[in-house]
């Protein structure tokens, strides 16, 4: 069971996948759409798994748009291009972020097949 209501669907105009998340974790959209894109979550999920399995106590992954700072209980997502008066980060439970990554990977595999 997931804490958040997450919707992943295809945008018919662009033939790409879109993700909708609640406002309090809004930067997950930028992380997934801009940094992970039409790929599986790979290094992003690996970092989360390393921390959750206690192989590491902290991981940081920087993408083109966001930086993900993973700690065991909570992950901070930082938006690199926030305007001066904009909120530049949000927090999400690390376990919930893992579930979102797995949902995204499942949607990508369904849309593009195993070859991606």
Assigned token pair, 53? 């399995």
Dihedral sign computed on CA atoms, order 80, 63, 23, 57: negative
Instruction: Return d(Cα 72, Cα 94) in angstroms, integer.
Output: 6
Listed by start position, the domains of the chain span 7-111
What pTM was computed for the model? 0.91
Please give the distance of CA 111 from its chain centroid, rounded to a whole number: 18
Burial class (CB in 10 A: 0-12, 13-18, 19+), 51: buried
Longest dimension (CA), the chain: 42
pLDDT in tens, 64-116: 999 999 999 999 999 999 888 877 999 999 999 999 999 999 999 998 875 44
pLDDT in tens, 3-24: 999 999 998 887 889 999 999 9
């Amino acid at each position: 069971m997931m804490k958040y209501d997450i919707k992943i669907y295809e945008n018919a105009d662009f033939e790409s996948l879109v993700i909708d998340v609640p406002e309090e974790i809004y930067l997950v959209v930028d992380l997934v759409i801009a940094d992970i894109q039409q790929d599986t979550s790979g290094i992003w999920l690996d970092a989360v798994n390393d921390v959750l399995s206690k192989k590491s106590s902290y991981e940081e992954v920087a993408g083109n748009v966001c930086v993900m700072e993973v700690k065991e209980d909570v992950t901070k997502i930082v938006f690199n291009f926030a305007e001066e008066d904009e909120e530049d980060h949000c927090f999400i439970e690390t376990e919930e972020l893992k579930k979102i990554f797995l949902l995204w990977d499942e949607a990508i595999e369904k849309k593009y097949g195993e070859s991606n």
